[in-house]
Structure 1
């Protein structure tokens, strides 16, 4: 399963894992939302609710796409967050890992607070 996250200055493709939460997200698309940033993380609300899956984590690798239950949002860290220790990608709380950004993470640096975000299936206009 692959999805596209697009904003005015760029886009990335995300490869989703085969998990219950990732499948729910995939089936809920397309969706338009608004970006928020927190250090070197972008997050945005999605039209679903899900409890944390087993294995939910607070520390992930850059480019990991996560579902943040407390914010009903996707979170994509690409570098240190304000609560990071030693430069890690530390999320605000335990999140379910959904997949990974394919390609260059540097594109995420062009997202600004308030940017419109469109999340769609790859191949969808």
Structure 2
């Protein structure tokens, strides 16, 4: 049995994810909004899409994150999936355009690495 808290579906491929306690207020707001779905925009090795959540940056919001991070971007009211460098990165680590609230971890980033460059993807997130 899976220990995932929710499933992220990107263009028909399911990726399990687990909540983290780094940004509890944002995590709670997103959990209450599930399921969410949208057309994501690709920005380097990041996908982001608007969700019906409006929360401010939490005290520990940060721009640099690890591959596999799921985060909320307060400036864009968007959920972000990171798996590699973005145009804002200075090295190999993902870097958001501005600080994000980290809410979860993807169990596997390999399906994201296989996405074609350019364009976007349809993303859906549902509770397990």
Give the TM-score normalised by structure 1: 0.88
Q: Which of 43, 48, 51 is matched with 1:46 structurally?
A: 51
* Matched residue, 1:109: 113
| 1:81-92 correspondence runs (5 A) | 81-92=86-97
Superposition deviation, residue 111 in structure 1: 4.3
| 1:1-125 correspondence runs (5 A) | 2-18=5-21, 19-102=24-107, 104-111=108-115, 113-122=119-128
Task: Count how many residue pairs are aligned between Structure 1 and Structure 2.
Answer: 121
Structure 2 spans left out of the alignment, 5+ residues: none
Do 2:47 and 2:120's aligned partners in 1 also have CA atoms closer than 8 Å?
no
CA distance in 2 between partners of 1:111 and 1:70 (Å): 25
Superposition deviation, residue 50 in structure 1: 0.5
Alpha-carbon RMSD:
1.6
Q: Deviations over 1:63-104 (max 9, x none)?
A: 1111000111111110111121122211100011111111x2
Do 1:10 and 1:110's aligned partners in 2 also have CA atoms closer than 8 Å?
no
Give the TM-score normalised by structure 2: 0.86
